């Protein structure tokens, strides 16, 4: 089973889009294993975005993600990384297809509403960065037989 971290970024929270975005992910058939509202501190933001350190947009990313509360969600499932990335849409909302989260709700790359892990390795690493093991649940869902073959 793959794991992915979703962050509903400050713009999603401030615009009141938590419910509609979570609904889309849940209706897609994705299974949540952890979720919390939190304020990301600078140290955690710098660790999360460490791969971008030294790039011109790095400081803006850190400032933005720490500016307001976010919702972090751990999701697990079969091919979950690709399913989520397809549901979220292209990083730049201008290029995101209609029907995707960014395509329907976003306009600018700097306010693109949502983070999603880009690989199984990063999914494992990012979930561990934001959730302690005891904050994650493994559970059986009655609808799984109607979602997965």
pTM of the entire predicted model: 0.95
Domain range summary for the chain, segments of one domain joined by +: 2-38+73-147
Choose the CATH number for 2-38+73-147 among 3.40.50.10090, 3.30.70.141, 1.10.3210.10, 3.30.450.40.
Answer: 3.30.70.141
The pairing of strands 2-8 and 114-116 is antiparallel
Asked about 52 being catalytic, the answer comes back as no
Residue 145: exposure state from Cβ atoms within 10 A (0-12, 13-18, ≥19): exposed
Tokens 């909302």 correspond to what residue?
93
Per the CB < 8 A criterion, the answer to whether 89 and 101 are in contact is: yes
Q: Which of 16-25, 32-41, 71-80, 140-149 has the lowest mean pLDDT?
A: 140-149
Per residue in 3-61, pLDDT (tens digit) is 999 999 999 999 999 999 999 999 999 999 999 999 999 999 999 999 999 999 999 99
CA angle 93, 75, 72 (to 5 degrees): 65
The residue from 49, 115, 130, 131 that is catalytic is 115
Tell me the pLDDT band of 149, cut-offs 50, 70 and 90: confident
């Amino acid at each position: 089973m793959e794991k992915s971290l979703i962050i509903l970024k400050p713009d999603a929270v401030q615009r009141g889009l938590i419910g509609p975005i979570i609904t889309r992910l849940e209706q897609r058939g994705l299974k949540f294993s952890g979720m919390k509202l939190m304020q990301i501190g600078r140290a955690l933001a710098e660790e999360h975005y460490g791969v971008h350190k030294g790039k011109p947009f790095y400081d803006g990313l850190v400032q933005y993600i720490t500016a307001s509360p976010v919702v972090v969600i751990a999701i697990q499932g079969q091919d979950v990384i690709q399913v989520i990335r397809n549901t979220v849409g292209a990083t730049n909302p201008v290029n995101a297809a209609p029907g995707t989260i960014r395509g329907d709700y976003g306009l600018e790359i700097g306010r693109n509403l949502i983070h999603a892990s880009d690989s199984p390795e990063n999914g494992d690493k990012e979930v561990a960065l934001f959730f302690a093991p005891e904050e994650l649940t493994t559970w059986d869902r009655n609808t799984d037989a109607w979602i997965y073959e």
